[in-house]
Amino acid sequence: MIFNPEYEAMEQGSLERLQFARLKNLVEKLYEKVPFYRAKLDAAGVTPRDIRCLADISKLPFTTKDDLRETYPYGLLACPQAEIEEIHMSSGTTGVPVVDAYTRSDVEAWGEAMARTLAGAGGTRNDTVQNCYGYGLFTGGLGVHYGAKSLGANIIPMSSGNTQKQLMVMKSFGSTILTCTPSYALFMAEEAAETGYDPKSMGIKAGCFGAEPWSENMRREIEEKWGIDAYDIYGLTEITGPGVAFECEAKDGLHVNEDLFYPEIIDPETGRVLPDGEKGELVFTTLTKEGTPLLRYRTRDVTFLRRERCSCGRTTVRMNRLFGRTDDMLIIRGVNVFPSQIEHALIEIEGTDPHYLIIVDRGPTHLDEVELQVEVKKELFSDETKGLETLRSRIEGVMKSKLGILLKVKLVEPKTIERSIGKAKRVIDKRKI
């Protein structure tokens, strides 16, 4: 079912007129109300009057994650602070977080976008959504929550973890839609099978999975293990959260909610806009956002756009499942981690050398596991093992508090990590996704 045919099945010309009107309005507002954007537009030599058609968007400057960090916490606010009703932050826990601030109307638009997403997976008001995305600053939990409310479905706000309880609740209340990361869906299915549940007869009919990379193979595995339809959903904190794009029953690309989020694909090297069908970096402009609207935000996610009609009747542009990222950001159990953050944390720990290797894999339980190999100074390595063990657990503690994730640290002798003459290879990602 199409949740909102007026916008999701809009005729192309009307959609473009709507997008243009919203874009123009946005640029005027940013120029007038956000000194950061006024300076950026001035530097690019563009004024709101230069935006005369939708294609003029390419004249506008990009916004980057660094811009967001530099303006933390409220430098990008485009409305009075009193109008902000909710704050979310990126899942990465180190450094300066990336903030998204929402007015009431932003939260409503988010609910609408997520209601469309759940409806794309066949959801209706008769469904019971078991939401196992984390509630809190992460956008997954509350995003799905608002969507289920807008859809009129029953929502069980489980948040992540506590798998046995998840299974018990699922069985007791007859949940029909499962929302969580794809790796957790697999983990849950296995834990169910091992503890006497039959995942296939739990009553779940569909799942909306995202927040981390996954593949067609993983989709097949999840669908087989649960006996459900598994749908890919996409979004990012900076651009509201989940609900930016979602799959429909055709499972053939993700429909972008483009009346709300205007997508472009650019060449990450030159910034040039690429035509439909060409792979590049995904860029979004928020068309209706009031709290922290963004102009041409560089997501660093790589995909391409397709405009041909979908069999479901929606006319919105589709983005392909993501191919990867243009930076080295890792997503570990849903937490965004940059290798540079690990490096910075290591520098502060005495006894270690700045040579390290991050090995990421999916453990037997399908959850991400990280081993961090760190070279130890020569003096220390010849030391007694007690000193090494203290250092090892100290590094694990520092990583846990700085990154918010548990790493298994392995101390290695000096010069054992392969040196490179070019760009150092810091990450080995063995996850078969």
Q: Determine the distance from the C-alpha atom of residue 331 to the mean position of all C-alpha atoms in its chain, rounded to a whole number.
A: 9
Smallest Cα–Cα separation from 416: which of 390, 371, 378, 369?
378
The least CB distance from residue 359 to ligand DLL, in Å, is 20
- CA angle 70-72-76, nearest 5°? 90
Nearer to ligand DLL, 199 or 243 (CB): 243
The least CB distance from residue 217 to ligand DLL, in Å, is 14
Smallest Cα–Cα separation from 120: which of 16, 243, 11, 226?
243
Q: Specify the pairing of strand 335-337 against strand 99-103.
A: unpaired
In this structure, what is the dihedral angle of CA atoms 225, 229, 232, 233, given to the nearest 10 degrees? Answer: -120
CB 284 within 8 A of CB 261: yes
CB 205 within 8 A of CB 241: no
Q: Which residue's CB comes closest to ligand DLL?
A: 210
The least CB distance from residue 419 to ligand DLL, in Å, is 30
Helices (H), strands (E): how many in the chain? 12, 21
CB 30 within 8 A of CB 293: yes
Nearer to ligand DLL, 8 or 238 (CB): 238
The least CB distance from residue 188 to ligand DLL, in Å, is 16
Nearer to ligand DLL, 197 or 297 (CB): 297
**φ, ψ for residue 404, nearest 5 deg:** 80, 15
The least CB distance from residue 299 to ligand DLL, in Å, is 5
Nearer to ligand DLL, 112 or 301 (CB): 301
The least CB distance from residue 233 to ligand DLL, in Å, is 5
What CA–CA distance (Å, rounded) separates 323 from 279?
9
Residues that bind ligand DLL (CB under 6 A): 90-91, 133, 139-140, 210-213, 232-237, 241-242, 299, 301, 322, 325, 331, 336
The least CB distance from residue 11 to ligand DLL, in Å, is 28
The least CB distance from residue 336 to ligand DLL, in Å, is 6
Nearer to ligand DLL, 133 or 184 (CB): 133
Dmax over CA atoms of the chain, in Å, equals 73
What CA–CA distance (Å, rounded) separates 160 from 149?
19
What CA–CA distance (Å, rounded) separates 227 from 172?
19
The least CB distance from residue 13 to ligand DLL, in Å, is 30
- Ramachandran quadrant class, 271 (left: phi over 0; alpha: psi -120 to 50; beta: rest): left
Smallest Cα–Cα separation from 342: which of 332, 353, 356?
356
The least CB distance from residue 411 to ligand DLL, in Å, is 31
Smallest Cα–Cα separation from 262: which of 241, 245, 236, 284?
284
What CA–CA distance (Å, rounded) separates 17 from 14?
5
